[in-house]
Chain A
Amino acid sequence: MPLDHVFAFAFFMLMTGAAGVMLRRNLIVVLMSVELMLNSVNFAFVGVARQLGDSAGHVMVLMIFVVAAVEVAIGMAIVVNMFRQRESIAIDNFNVMRG
């Protein structure tokens, strides 16, 4: 797969995820969209690593795996906390910074 196509697909997935982050109101779906964006970057890294024949790109992907795992763990803890406060996770119910 030529790099142009790799980048085109990665960019499409990144924009899909960004649209989900900006347009969805369910906090869990927003977090899933962030995962989608991270995955599109992973895909670009693997594609470039394959083209250049350099495994260093795979190390970057491993780092993104770690970040994604931590992000989901912390994100879900925050979701649970927010649900305890308002009995809801629709993000337009959370429009003030103070608890």
Chain B
Amino acid sequence: MDASTVLLYLFTILAAGGGVAVVMQRDAVHSAVALLFTMLNLAAVYALMQAHLIAALQVVIYGGAIVILIVYIIMLLDVRSEDAVRWFRTGWLVALPMVLLFALLFGRAILPVSARASTESLLTGDIPCVGGAKCEQVCDDGVDTDGDGLTDCKDPDCGRHMACYGTVESVGGHLLGPFVLPFEVSSILLLAGIVGSILLTARQEGER
């Protein structure tokens, strides 16, 4: 086991522990700090899994926007000690069967995927071109090998190369290529979110 694998497991376990702390803490502010801890550990996990763009966005969006918004609302409403020790008494009766059901369905769903995946799928050397067609063979030389106008990581051929996987070029190529419709729809979702949150919190004329 090399150092990066050890770190990967370490950060994953820390993230899972942070997740438990989010649920177990009695003070909402402590929960929020535990959530931040979880998010940052997950960002480290993503970085170690070569998902560089996702790791950066995890820190910016979750650590910088979502957790801050949550902490801000806790501060605004001053409700941090409300929950004290009280949990749902009968909740376990619902929660336990639900967890077992989830476990069953989840296991049933992931086992085929888990069996199919290879151990190492990222390439380090030249890219093998399918069927003898021209493709971007060398992904880190700054030369447009196949002459299609896309150099190195910008070429989708290089998506599985170690130097390109998970970079802005690679993910952006997917985002503005096959996934352009979901990408555009997500902007409508964000707009709806903005309008909705303003509408929900705006006070009516004459309201206290």
> Does chain A have a CB within 8 A of B76?
yes
Instruction: Say whether B103 contacts A11, CB under 8 Å.
Output: yes
How many residues of B sit at the interface, in one of the four size bands?
A: 35 or more
Known: A51-B118, A80-B77, A83-B77. A72 touches B66 (CB 8 A): yes
How many residues of A sit at the interface, in one of the four size bands?
A: 35 or more
The total of interchain contacts (Cβ-Cβ below 8 angstroms) comes to 231
Chain B positions within 8 Å of A, measured between CB atoms, are 5, 8-9, 12-13, 15-16, 19-20, 22-23, 28, 31-32, 35, 38-39, 42, 45-46, 49-51, 53-54, 57-58, 61-62, 65-66, 69-70, 73-74, 76-77, 79, 82-83, 86-88, 91-92, 94-95, 98-99, 102-103, 106, 110, 113-114, 117-119, 121-123, 159-160, 165-166, 170-171, 173-175, 178-179, 182-183, 186, 189-190, 192-194, 196-197, 200-201
Instruction: List 6 A–B pairs whose Cβ atoms lie within 8 Å, in order of A's numbering.
Output: A1-B8, A15-B102, A18-B98, A28-B74, A43-B42, A70-B193
Chain A positions within 8 Å of B, measured between CB atoms, are 1-5, 7, 9, 11-20, 22-26, 28-29, 31-33, 35-36, 39-40, 42-43, 46-56, 58-59, 61-63, 65-70, 72-74, 76-81, 83, 88-90, 92
